[in-house]
Structure 1
Amino acid sequence: MTKTLLFLSVLISGFTFAQDDLLKDIDTIQTKNTDTSQPAFKALQIVTGQSTKLPAKKEWYIIVAHRFGDVSKGFKDFFGLDDASTKLGVIYGATEWLSLNLSRETNQKTFEGGVKYRLARQNDNFPVDLVGYNVLAVNTELSKDNYPHIRFADRLSYLSQALISRRFNDNFSLQLTPSYIHKNLYEPAIEDKDQFLAGLGGRYKISKRVSINAEYFVNFDSHSFYKNPLSVGMDIETGGHVFQLLFTNSQINSDIGYLTNATGKWKKGQIFFGFNLYRVF
């Protein structure tokens, strides 16, 4: 475990160089904490799940998300460092209220395209931020050797979410995330074609540039083989970057895979270390 901690320290220090302060909008002290210029979250994701934050108009984000293997396997797999899944993505702020994203993950070789749109802002007259999020995913790993009659439509999955957050004060924010997922191809013995989830996530700022985040999703699929995703993390603003360190029981980075294919058990130490790195242009 000592080698893992050493790796973390080196990883963090590699990104701590000064550039523009991306998070000045949430670090500026205001007389009213309901000021709409201050988002509830500093990053576009709480941990792996989406937050109500959107890019500014004409902003481009490059995202690198990495999840190592199961830390409970110990030194044999170097505490998970030998087994990793990576997602690369781009996000574009089309308007002040609309963003578009495209990503590809190594696990299941999944491509995802998404749209995120603000419906309402928290202010003195409205208690929450309300954002919609929709995703179309394509699983390109499915082969005709295993599925001889597979069609392109069978590779598709869909996600719809309502992101409802409230910034209670300068330090604390909370979000509810009701979600619906539909899979065209699924295994009836271990999951449902249509799945409904309810998520709860939050952020607590412990210093000007650091916050502790957590999120948990309950999947109401009664006979699902998979576990409910539970993740905890830390947001670090390093100047020019938003860097997130995290531990989770779901190794998959894609939105749909994360929510419906978690395999780890926290009680048994079956967790995955990872990070999200954002670069804005």
Structure 2
Amino acid sequence: MKALYLFSIFLWISSVAFAQDDLLDVLEQETEDEPAFVYATFKGSRLINGHTIETRGTNELEFLISHRFGPVSGGGYELFGLDQANIRLGLSYGINDRLTVGLGRSSFEKTYDGYLKYRLLRQSNSGKKTPLSITLFGSATYITLRDQIYETASNRMTYTTQALIARKFSPAFSLQLMPTYIHFNLTTTTQLDQDLFALGIGGRLKLTRRVSINAEYYPRLNATSTLYYDAFAVGFDIETGGHVFQFHLTNSRPMIEKGFIAETTEDFFAGDMRLGFNISRSFNLGKKHRKKQQWD
């Protein structure tokens, strides 16, 4: 309930910003026969922990470093979590403007992950108007942790499927829904649901040209466990040219979907939050072409 209350405040502030934007001034400059796609719904491929609808451009390579410290509740003895570290290194590549492939490796359970993102629909406000952007996401993970409980390679696998549905309501405000299904081939405890459904919600509120505040929440719809908690995070995006730096607070130690959605063991609102950051750098390995756009 506290998470929903914080989101209601976030959305109320965003609606004020939205009301100040005169969309007609933008639409008057567009042709009627060619769609003008809305770009930069989000500035990066990650909202905080989870993916956004954004895919890489053709021949664009992104290198992403994700880092989560320990719980700040550890106090001065643990330097408020800075003595502990969890990291994920990832690469993603744009096959074309719609299809992105990615690979990564996390220190959490020494896990490798691979994923595909396909942009099914793009928001457009003129020509053939489309009110939403939809990106399909699918990933597979493989745990390499040395543990005899995993008797076969198949038991180490987990699969995630998501539909990322977003709308950029104004230059300042974007909102995204993330219906999610996660399947574990093997669960190591009865407290972990083998098949889990969640409905994530997240948003971005632009404060300046290069700074925004982001928030995301992943309520689990069919969870039966009292050991795990819903993932919640809030933070800032800072864009500096080809870099996007994200600084945030979250209750999630893992940085891949099966981990932060299904295996978060800490309660954000009980003070079990962690400092974290993402740093991304994009490289264009070929010519970049973009169509007419709005609200870049």
Runs of 4+ in 1 over 6 A off after TM superposition: none
Partners of 1:63 and 1:276 within 8 A in 2: yes
**Structure 2 equivalent of residue 111 of structure 1:** 112
Residues 72 and 81 of structure 2 are in contact (CA less than 8 Å); yes or no, is this contact kept in structure 1?
yes
Asked whether the 8 Å contact 1:248–1:271 carries over to 2, the reply is: yes
Contact 1:212/1:233 (8 A) holds in 2: yes
Give % identity. 38
Mapped contact 1:191–1:221 kept (Cα < 8 A): no
Q: Could you tell me whether the CA contact under 8 Å between 2:53 and 2:134 is conserved in 1?
A: yes
Secondary structure of 2:131's partner? coil
Structure-1 separation of matches of 2:237 and 2:269 = 24
* Deviation for aligned residue 1:279: 0.7
* 1:1-281 paired onto structure 2 within 5 Å: 31-32=26-27, 35-124=36-125, 125-144=129-148, 147=149, 150-187=151-188, 189-224=190-225, 225-281=227-283
- Deviation of 1:123 after TM superposition, in Å, equals 1.2
Matched length: 249
- 2:38/2:168 contact within 8 Å kept: no
For 1:187 and 1:138, locate their aligned partners in 2 and report how far apart those are by CA, in whole Å.
14
SS in 2 for 1:76: helix
Provide Cα deviations, 1:122-161, integer angstroms capped at 9, x if missing partner: 11321100100000000111422xx2x6100000000000
8 A Cα contact 1:67 1:251, kept in partner: yes
**Conserved in 2, the CA contact under 8 Å of 1:235 and 1:244?**
yes
Contact 2:192/2:263 (8 A) holds in 1: no
Query: Partners in 2 of 1:211 and 1:137 — Cα distance?
Result: 31
Query: Does the 8 A contact of 1:55 with 1:96 survive in 2?
Result: yes
Partners in 2 of 1:259 and 1:73 — Cα distance? Answer: 23
Contact 2:38 2:123 in 1 (8 A): no
Offset at residue 62 of structure 1 (A): 0.6
Q: CA deviation at 1:37?
A: 4.2
Q: CA–CA distance in 2 between the matches of 1:154 and 1:142?
A: 13
Alpha-carbon spacing, 1:95–1:198, altered in 2? closer, same or farther (3 Å): same
The one-letter amino acid paired with 2:26 is: T
Q: Which amino acid aligns with 1:104?
A: R
SS of 1:260's equivalent in the other structure is coil
Q: Distance in 2 between matches of 1:137 and 1:280?
A: 24
Q: CA deviation at 1:245?
A: 0.4
Distance 1:188 1:74, change over 3 A: closer
TM-score by length of 1: 0.85
Q: CA deviation at 1:221?
A: 3.0
8 Å CA contact 2:38, 2:122 repeated in 1: no
CA-to-partner distance for each residue in 1:211-255, whole Å, 9 max, x for gaps? 000000111233122100000011000122011001101011122
Equivalent residue letter for 1:162: A
Contact 1:142 1:155 in 2 (8 A): no
CA distance in 1, matches of 2:139, 2:190: 25
Give secondary structure in 2 for the equivalent of 1:279: strand
> Larger deviation: 79-88 or 187-196?
187-196
Distance (whole Å) between structure 2 residues aligned to residue 117 and residue 173 of structure 1: 19
Whether the 8 Å contact between 1:196 and 1:220 is mirrored in structure 2 is yes
SS at match of 2:151: coil
| SS of residue paired to 2:259 | helix
Paired with 1:240 and 1:130, the residues of 2 have a C-alpha distance of 25
What's the C-alpha RMSD, in Å, of the aligned pairs? Answer: 1.5
Contact (CA 8 Å) 2:92, 2:102: kept in 1 or not? yes
1:37 & 1:266 partners in 2: Cα distance? Answer: 34
Question: How far apart are the structure 2 equivalents of 1:64 and 1:207?
Answer: 24
Query: Whole-Å Cα distance in 2 between the matches of residues 37 and 92 of structure 1?
Result: 21
Q: Unaligned 5+ residue runs, structure 1?
A: 1-29
- TM-score, structure 2 normalization: 0.81
